[in-house]
Amino acid sequence: MWDLSRAEDHLLSLELFGMRFGLERMRRLLTVLGSPQEAFASVHVVGTNGKSSTARMTAAILEAHDVRTGTFLSPHLTSFAERIRIGDHDLGAGAFGAAVQRAAAAASTVDRTLSVGDRVTQFELLAAVAFSELAERGVEVAVVEAGLGGRHDATNVLPSRVQVLTNVSLEHTRWLGPTLADIAREKLAIVRPGSTLVIGELEPEAEAEAVSTAEKLGARLVRVTRGPRFQETNFAVARAAAQAHLGELDAGRVAETAAHVQVPGRFETVAQDPLTILDGAHNPSGVAALAIALRASVGDRRLVAVMSVLDDKDAAEMLAALLPACAAAVFCASPHPRALPPATLGSLAAQVGGPPSELGA
């Protein structure tokens, strides 16, 4: 039986994306596993930012209304097992290892049917593990976060009745297209006929795509207005998604959920003295929302940013969005192999007129 370490080693040996986009590998894999995605209702979450927060919050609201709920999230912070949740708990290490072993055996069967050089990808295997485990655990509803885009994402095999588009910004343009309309169109490919589409506040060209998609497919469109802070907006979207699935919600249970729901690594307060907040914003729009939330939360206290950015991100625009809110900055490199050198971040900060900065390891 595989343990967590063995399972993670196997996942890391796989390509993140395959040699070609498409859902054929995923469909074959799920067929071998018995089509577990058919065993539960689903809420499918796409968007540029806020997907994990919205998914966790939607699941928490459903759980508060006595619905047995599972969640599939990405990325993780420290362990792949964090990506699959049953209720308010991550899947245990032992259960995760065993589930990956079972799915890997099915993937091996599928790989033998594919073209030379093609094989089931890391994200496809993870999604299959999640769907299998959620079905095995008897969840009534799965709240599923897409990985990249929507049309060709491995999660787009779900027969979901509720879809969520949190927001749309320019990101992953190499795969999703150069304009907001292009990106929105790719994400909205998850919408099913006669379903309910919940959208956060969108730019006009993205909203036009949402309206057009809903009209073509006979989907009900629910708009959610932006809140004063990004996590308040995410919760409002989550509430609308939960209501789209359940119908009228209990206001007291919703308020209790809002007061206690936590999303690791998303505006997460980990210490009070000094106040220390962790956030995984990784694109200019996400960092801009973070800066607004920080100003509101920190007040007149001196704010020092400790920051690392990967080399495929728009670091200059991210720095331009965050640094005006900061009194100082410390640039470092995370353990990720694609982390930019601190000196590069320091140079970019000087170009955008940032505050005094230091270089960490």
Residue 252 belongs to domain with CATH number: 3.40.1190.10
Q: Are residues 351 and 214 in the same domain?
A: no
pLDDT of res. 137? 97
Q: Are residues 210 and 331 in the same domain?
A: no
Show which of 217, 234, 260 is a domain's final residue: 260
| Bridge partners (DSSP) listed for residue 42 | 142
Q: Are residues 222 and 272 in the same domain?
A: no
Show which of 260, 290, 323 is a domain's final residue: 260
Instruction: Tell me how far apart the alpha carbons of residues 310 and 225 are, in angstroms, rounded to a whole number.
Output: 31
Backbone CA torsion sign across 342, 347, 352, 356? positive
Q: Are residues 277 and 338 in the same domain?
A: yes
Q: Are residues 41 and 78 in the same domain?
A: yes
175, with CB counted inside 10 A (0-12, 13-18, 19+), is middle
Number of domains within the chain: 2
pLDDT of res. 355? 80
What pTM did the predictor assign?
Answer: 0.91
CATH of the domain at 340: 3.90.190.20
Q: Which two tokens stand for residue 158?
A: 């779900």
DSSP state of 71: E
Show which of 226, 260, 294 is a domain's final residue: 260
Neighbour tally for 170: CB within 10 Å: 18
DSSP state of 83: G
Contact residues for 78 (Cβ-Cβ < 8 A; gap 6+): none
Q: Which residue has the tokens 């060709």?
A: 152
pLDDT of res. 41? 99
Q: Are residues 220 and 339 in the same domain?
A: no
- Which is nearest to 338 in space by CA: 317, 312, 316? 312
Q: Which domain holds residue 98?
A: 4-260
Q: Are residues 226 and 191 in the same domain?
A: yes
pLDDT of res. 19? 52
Per-residue pLDDT of the chain (361 residues; tens, 9 = 90+): 999 999 999 999 999 876 578 899 999 999 999 999 999 999 999 999 999 999 999 999 999 999 999 999 999 999 999 999 999 999 999 999 999 999 999 999 999 999 988 999 999 999 999 999 999 999 999 999 999 889 999 999 999 999 999 999 887 667 788 899 999 999 999 999 999 999 999 999 999 999 999 999 999 999 999 887 888 999 999 999 999 999 999 999 999 999 999 899 989 999 998 999 999 998 998 999 899 989 888 888 899 999 999 998 999 999 999 999 999 999 999 998 899 999 999 999 999 887 877 776 6
Q: Which two tokens stand for residue 229?
A: 């802070």
Q: Are residues 34 and 76 in the same domain?
A: yes
Q: Are residues 186 and 232 in the same domain?
A: yes
pLDDT of res. 361? 63
Instruction: Tell me how far apart the alpha carbons of residues 24 and 260 are, in angstroms, rounded to a whole number.
Output: 40
Instruction: Tell me how far apart the alpha carbons of residues 219 and 10 are, in angstroms, rounded to a whole number.
Output: 40
Give the DSSP letter string of 192-215: -TT-EEEE----HHHHHHHHHHHH
Q: Are residues 212 and 335 in the same domain?
A: no
Q: Are residues 212 and 274 in the same domain?
A: no
Q: Are residues 251 and 284 in the same domain?
A: no
